[in-house]
Chains A and B, each alone.
Chain A
Amino acid sequence: MQEVLAILIDGITYASWLFIIAVGLTLVYGVMKILNVAHGSLYALGAYAATSLGGYWLAHGYPPVGTYGMLALAAIAVGLVAGPLIERGLLRRMYGNEEVVLVLITYAVFLILEDLSKLLWGVDPLSIPEPYSLLGNFEIGGLVYPNYNLLLLAVSLLVGAALALVLNGTRQGKILQAVIHDREMSAAVGINVSRVYLVTFTVGAMLAAMGGALTAPSIAVQPGISADTIVLAFAVVVIGGLGSLGGAALGAVLVGLVRAWAVHKWPEVELFSVYAVMALVLILRPKGLFAVPEARKI
């Protein structure tokens, strides 16, 4: 029984993290039809920025509880700077190209940002453990877990709820949905698609950076985390169905639980369990769990 509980908790914790790193990616794809490889880099930049800002805060002797504010600040800063820069400066010129070409462009940006972070922060691992350790632990069924996991869960639920609310409940959200379904038609009825793209990409960047900022306290922030993370985000997004928020949530839960089960029961397959799930889902549902239907061609 304890093992089942452990798997559940590990699974949900991992799922929360996966959702946070994947939701921005699927949002950007849904609206702009771009699978943004650089999403992983934005995640890393968020982690690095969080480490710097948090370190700066602590170095000046401010109360450690303020580091949470620094995490948030890092996410917003990275998103607001990198988002528009990439979208306006580069992507804007290349809309109209095939999907795959746009993916390759974001891959190039990924490579560039990877080295940029090396130039700015060096190659040695950095850390900002305070936000993590400050919260202490909780106990359940004889198992001990860091409260930070609960923070992750809370944030993921909040983000999911907020996005769902915006998409379905607000006028801006309806506009987004229109663009998701038919860009040309949206432009034809007067929607400023250009601005929608900018806002969406920036929000996506902030979400990515937030994922990184939230993760920074629990890992060693170093080169390579972007590459490791983006493939996981890809898997979750593809499993859920490109562009589907609900799909990202379901995909995150599915992958989280499967991986937790693997870690406990069959460690040899832990690393590839994510991709095995992705392959299986694609075999059964070629476009992912929640796919957008396609119109007739001939």
Chain B
Amino acid sequence: MTKVLESRGLNKSFGAVTAAADINVSIEQDSVVGLIGSNGAGKTTFINLVTGYLQPTSGSIHYLDRDITGLTPRQITRLGICRSFQIPQLFQSLTVQENLHVGVGIAARTHPQAGAAIADEQQEIQTLIERFNLRGYRSQLASQLPEGVRKLLDIAMAVAGRPNVLMLDEPTSGVSADEKFRLMDMVMQALKAQGVTVLFVEHDMDIVERYTHRVLAFYEGRIIADGEPAAVLKDAEVRKYVIGDTHAGAH
């Protein structure tokens, strides 16, 4: 198994607040990893650190044997790590079609792997619209889309960069319970075609169980459990600090 992403001794503190504490993680190519933890546990901070939005206080991040610590989001995106956001980052005043037009346009011109692969920008936009079921919303302004569709567009934008590693921050939050699975099915289906390593933050344990090969549980900036979903979700500490099972200690 190739190691695609690795963090070594990753630390991040804001004054007295520790957002990441000694994170040592190694992610394998093509795996699907779930990041769980209560709010403020450090999941988004981890994504922010890996993608260069935040600089670590100490430690390093490696992508395919290359040290990417200290690079900017722009540089890291070009290398092949793309992400979606907790609050979808879209071009509100543009339509879905126009959003993707901008996104694909940038990807084609700035990502080495995308630039080679995207022969026809319009075709690429079409493909993304089809894959993420956005056809009915094509001409709607991003600001007017229902939340689930905004999430899909946000993810589609990330995928437009033809990433090697895709990090999704709470892809199903704000989406109604019955739609969650449909959304994840669609996303996973769309990604299967491209052979992508996926990490996603999720609060819904059913989704975590269903889609991930591996789960990382965060608590107060540290990783308190790392392994297969079934095992991690049964872990006592995880049950206590993440799932909120107050009887965990009794088992």
A295 to chain B, nearest CB (A): 12
- Measured CB to CB, the closest approach of chain A to B140, in angstroms, equals 23
Q: Does A298 contact B (CB under 8 A)?
A: yes
CA distance A298 to B201 in the complex (A): 14
Q: Would you call B25 an interface residue if the criterion is a C-beta within 8 Å of the partner chain's C-beta atoms?
A: no
Cβ contacts A282-298/B at 8 Å (1 or 0 each): 00000000000000001
Residues of A within 8 A of B44 (CB): 298
Chain B residues with CB under 8 A of A298: 44, 48, 53, 85-87, 89
Contact-size category for A? under 10
Q: Which residue of B lies closest to A297 (CB)?
A: B87
B189: shortest Cβ distance to chain A, in Å?
A: 27
Nearest chain A CB to B231 CB, angstrom units:
31
List A contacts of B89 (CB < 8 A).
Answer: 298
- Using a CB-CB cutoff of 8 Å, which residues 64-112 of chain B contact chain A? 85-87, 89
For B, the interface residue count at a CB cutoff of 8 angstroms equals 7
Least CB separation from B45: chain A residue:
A296
Measured CB to CB, the nearest residue on chain A to B44 is A298
Q: Which residue of A lies closest to B87 (CB)?
A: A298
Give B96 Cβ to nearest chain A Cβ, in Å: 21
Q: Which residue of A lies closest to B169 (CB)?
A: A298
| Cα(A298)–Cα(B89), bound, Å | 9
A96 to chain B, nearest CB (A): 16
CA distance A35 to B53 in the complex (A): 30
A259-298 CB mask vs B (1 if < 8 Å, else 0) is 0000000000000000000000000000000000000001
Cβ distance A297 to chain B, nearest Cβ, rounded Å: 9
What chain A residues lie within 8 Å of B48 (beta carbons)? 298
**Smallest Cβ-Cβ distance to B85: which chain A residue:** A298
Give min CB distance, A49 to chain B, whole Å. Answer: 45
Q: Mark B28-49, 1 if CB is under 8 A from A, else 0.
A: 0000000000000000100010
A168 vs B235: C-alpha distance in the bound complex, in angstroms? 50
Shortest distance between the CB of B194 and any CB in chain A (Å)? 25
**Cα-based distance from A43 to B87 in the complex (angstroms):** 44
Q: Which residues of A contact B85 (CB under 8 A)?
A: 298
A252 to B173 Cα, complex, angstroms = 49
Give chain B nearest CB distance to A99 CB in angstroms. 18
**What's the nearest-Cβ distance from chain B to residue A35, in Å?**
25
- Cα distance A298–B86 when bound, in Å? 7
**Which residues of chain B have a CB within 8 Å of any CB of chain A?**
44, 48, 53, 85-87, 89
Q: Which 5 A-B pairs have the closest CB atoms?
A: A298-B85, A298-B53, A298-B86, A298-B87, A298-B89
The 6 listed contacts between A and B (C-beta, < 8 Å) are: A298-B48, A298-B53, A298-B85, A298-B86, A298-B87, A298-B89
